[in-house]
Amino acid sequence: MTRRSQRVFLILVVLQAAHSVEEYATGLYQVLVPARFVSGLVSDDLAVGFAVINSALVALGFWCYLVPVRSGRPAARAWAWGWAIVEIGNGAGHVALALLAGGYFPGLLTAPLLFVTASWLALLLYRGSHER
């Protein structure tokens, strides 16, 4: 991975952290059935379960950056592609849910940033794989 794609990956993880905060603050775990389900697997208090799950997700993102991505390990590209694909879906999904709701849906403010940054990362990864 290039230095640029490594930096974009880190930006994506930071944006996911901000997105998780927005989702928590606006109660996504109260209105989206899959979020309720996963949060309930961790705690009877859905807010606590949601916070634990999202903290673990962000921690995984920082681990991915610090260990495979920044150190240039062979698995770095696979981790980065995984994050790019998930975050493109995450960003697009929140926008779609807001359109269906006819207004704001928890996570909408940061969703476009996730979508654009993840798409940028995917483009950098794609170009990098075809320049070799």
Tally of domains in the chain: 1
Separation CA 108–CA 98 (nearest Å) = 7
pTM of the model: 0.94
The domain of 119 spans 3-131
Separation CA 66–CA 60 (nearest Å) = 10
Separation CA 44–CA 112 (nearest Å) = 31
pLDDT in tens, 51-87: 999 999 999 999 999 999 999 898 999 999 999 999 9
User: With bands split at pLDDT 50, 70 and 90, how would you rate the model's confidence at 34?
Assistant: very high
User: With bands split at pLDDT 50, 70 and 90, how would you rate the model's confidence at 131?
Assistant: low
- The burial class, CB within 10 Å (0-12 / 13-18 / 19+), for 65 is buried
